[in-house]
Amino acid sequence: MYKKQTMLKLLFIIAIIVTIMLFTNLKNTNNYIELTEEQIASVVANENITMLHAETLFKENKPVTVISYTKDDKTGFITAYNDNGTIHHNKTLSTHVNINKKVEVLGVATGLPFITLTFYDTTLLQNTKKISIYYDDIKKDIKTDEQLRSLIIPLHGKSEAVQTNPIIIEFYDDNDSIIFTYPADSILEEYAV
């Protein structure tokens, strides 16, 4: 009888320890969810920026919202995510607006590789119907919308780090003719597609 009581007490203590461990693990687990429109608007207001475009990208089921923006004489992007209801964001990259350029291309090559492509030239924006991006021996075609002055484009490569040198972007009109190439002096090499 004494052994039985000791065994029950031991099982009870083990059950309590297991319950505490499970509760602690569940409580410390990150729960990433997509940002809502209101949360994106809050980030925009907190940073006092003009949002050009926002897009949610995924890295290993973790949603990350990329917000391209302008502020004063700069353009750039912010990355933001929601972890257990707490919004985290940081200005990842920005540069001065250069109206002598037709487009600005900024991006990240590792982790969650992507680029932001911002049109400065209104005529190019209006006439571009499709772009082709060449990187890491990959060709990616994207239809454009003249209402979107900035595009956020994920770059999924063959490896974790995308080889973005060189990255070449061709801009096509509605006749499927190339009207601009970025960088302007690039020569397209043979890419495996």
92 and 126 within one domain: no
Q: State the chain's mean pLDDT as an integer.
A: 83
CA angle at residue 182 from 102 to 171, to 5 degrees?
80
Query: Could you tell me the CATH number of the domain that includes residue 38?
Result: 3.10.450
Half-sphere exposure (Cβ direction) of 92: Cα atoms closer than 13 Å: 22
Q: Which residues contact 87 (CB under 8 A, 6 or more apart)?
A: 35, 39, 42, 43, 80, 81
Residue 193 has a pLDDT of 37
Average pLDDT over residues 80-101: 89
Judge contact between 44 and 91, C-beta under 8 A: no
Q: Is there a single domain that holds both residue 192 and residue 108? A: yes
Q: Report the CATH number at residue 162.
A: 2.60.40
Which of 97, 118, 144 is the last residue before a domain boundary? Answer: 97
Per-residue pLDDT band for 71 (boundaries 50, 70, 90) equals very high
Tokens at residue 101, please?
């350029």
Domain count across the chain: 3
Domain end marker among 43, 68, 97: 97
Residue 102 pLDDT greater than 60, yes or no? yes
Q: Which two tokens stand for residue 25?
A: 């693990």
pTM equals 0.77
Buried-exposed string 77-88: b where 16+ CB fall within 10 A, e elsewhere? bbbbbbeeeebe
Of 26-30, 103-107, 112-116, 140-144, least confident by mean pLDDT is: 26-30
> For residue 16, what are its two tokens?
């309590």
Q: Which residue has the tokens 């509760």?
A: 23
Q: How far apart are CA 23 and CA 17, in angstroms?
A: 10
Q: Is 42 exposed, middle or buried (0-12, 13-18, 19+ CB in 10 A)?
A: middle
pLDDT at 108: 86
Mean pLDDT of 152-175: 77
Domain limits at 49? 31-97
Same domain, 192 and 154: yes
Mean pLDDT value across residues 54-77: 92
Select from 97, 114, 137 the last residue of a domain.
97
Question: What is the predicted pLDDT for the residue at 47?
Answer: 93
**pLDDT reading at 158 higher than 80:** no
Stronger pLDDT, 142 or 5, i.e. the higher one: 142
Residue 165's pLDDT is 58
Q: What is the pLDDT of residue 190?
A: 43
Mean pLDDT confidence for 109-133 = 92
Q: Do 82 and 129 fall within a single domain? A: no
Of the ranges 50-64, 69-83, 116-130, 179-193, which one carries the lowest mean pLDDT score? 179-193
Extract the tokens encoding 177. Answer: 């003719």
